[in-house]
Amino acid sequence: MRKTSLDRLNSAKKAEFVSELGAIYEHAPWVTEAVSDLRPFATVAALHEAMTAAVRKAPREQRLALINGHPDLAGKAARAGTLTADSTAEQASAGLNRLSEQEFSDFHRLNDAYRKKFGLPFIVCVRRHSKDSILRQFRLRLENDPEAEEDAALREIFRITALRRDQYVEAPDRLKVNGRVSTHVLDTCNGIPALGVKIDLLELSENGDRRTITTAQTNDDGRTEAPLIGGQPVPIGRYELHFHVADYFRRLGLPLADPPFLGVVPVQFSVADPEGHYHVPLLASPWSYSTYRGS
């Protein structure tokens, strides 16, 4: 899909409207068709609402077909490279394209168990998750009864399509589908924002893996130019910030112990709400620091 504007979608011919927007619902252009005559939409929220409603009131067989149109997570299609472009990118975002053999077989086993119990593929909006939290969702949702699970699958589809819509449709409004991780470093010794502090953001996995997601530098307001994570959901998972404070204080000429008492300050936190704003500041001196969920 390419980026397009709501205006253009509102004024396009029906065929064009469906062709432009069709891929939002994986293998289900009928959802787009169903709302074509409801145009124009004033906001992308109204468009999203209409498509969601169209799915809700479709016959159950059609809804099940929609669910069944989705690929397995880390499944054969993924390994064979036959996923849609969107699905490929989404699965990669949660690291499902970097699984170990053990993890592949875990996914395989859970996919099978899920299909066996519900007769459906397991659907989750992977952009909101890390590998660990997908596996946890898998286990939790295997406990559901079939009715609850059909509903859960639809809600995940609505999340997936909201994100695709946010990505592809330019509109005056924004859907509340993105979260943020940001920080702010204060030098409590000098009462100033700490300038030039190197910060790494790592994603931690339960198997002990530690992957650096991004590295940034604080500006003269003690903040990074851009959020450490922004413009996307923050995957549910565990993170660690590394603040290189000794380098900062050394540059200022403060006398430090050798090695310095605080070298790199690790701050570990978990994200439970992918659409939340996780502002995690650091107030630091060479011998002490505080951190907290800020706003």
Interface contacts to a copy of itself, rule CB under 8 A:
184, 186, 188-193, 221-222, 236, 238, 240, 257-266, 268-273, 283, 285-295
Say how far apart CA 40 and CA 35 lie, in whole Å. 10
Q: How far is the CB of 4 from a copy of itself (least distance, A)?
A: 34
Task: Count CA atoms within 13 Å of residue 232 on its CB side.
Answer: 15
Which residues, listed in sequence order, are joined to residue 277 by a DSSP beta bridge? 180
Single-letter amino acid, residue 45: A
Q: Which is nearer to a copy of itself, 184 or 198 (CB)?
A: 184
Element housing 9 (H / E) = helix 6-11
Q: How far is the CB of 249 from a copy of itself (least distance, A)?
A: 10
Please tell me whether residue 294 adopts helix, strand or coil conformation: strand
Q: Which is nearer to a copy of itself, 99 or 283 (CB)?
A: 283
291 is written with which tokens? Answer: 């951190």
Residue 150 vs residues 40, 72, 154: alpha-carbon distances, Å: 31, 16, 6
Q: Based on the number of CB atoms within 10 Å of its own CB, is 64 exposed (0-12), middle (13-18) or buried (19 or more)?
A: middle
Q: Which is nearer to a copy of itself, 67 or 186 (CB)?
A: 186
**Largest Cα–Cα separation, the chain:** 72
Strands 185-187 and 282-285: parallel
State how far Cα 137 lies from the chain centre: 15
Q: Which is nearer to a copy of itself, 45 or 267 (CB)?
A: 267
Q: How far is the CB of 117 from a copy of itself (least distance, A)?
A: 24
Say how far apart CA 159 and CA 293 lie, in whole Å. 26
Q: Which is nearer to a copy of itself, 76 or 210 (CB)?
A: 210
Which residue in 71, 53, 65 sits closest to 158, CA to CA? Answer: 53
251 is written with which tokens? Answer: 């540059």
Q: Which is nearer to a copy of itself, 174 or 210 (CB)?
A: 210
Q: How far is the CB of 268 from a copy of itself (least distance, A)?
A: 6
Q: Which is nearer to a copy of itself, 117 or 238 (CB)?
A: 238
178 is written with which tokens? Answer: 């993105």
147 is written with which tokens? Answer: 């009715």
Q: Which is nearer to a copy of itself, 15 or 272 (CB)?
A: 272
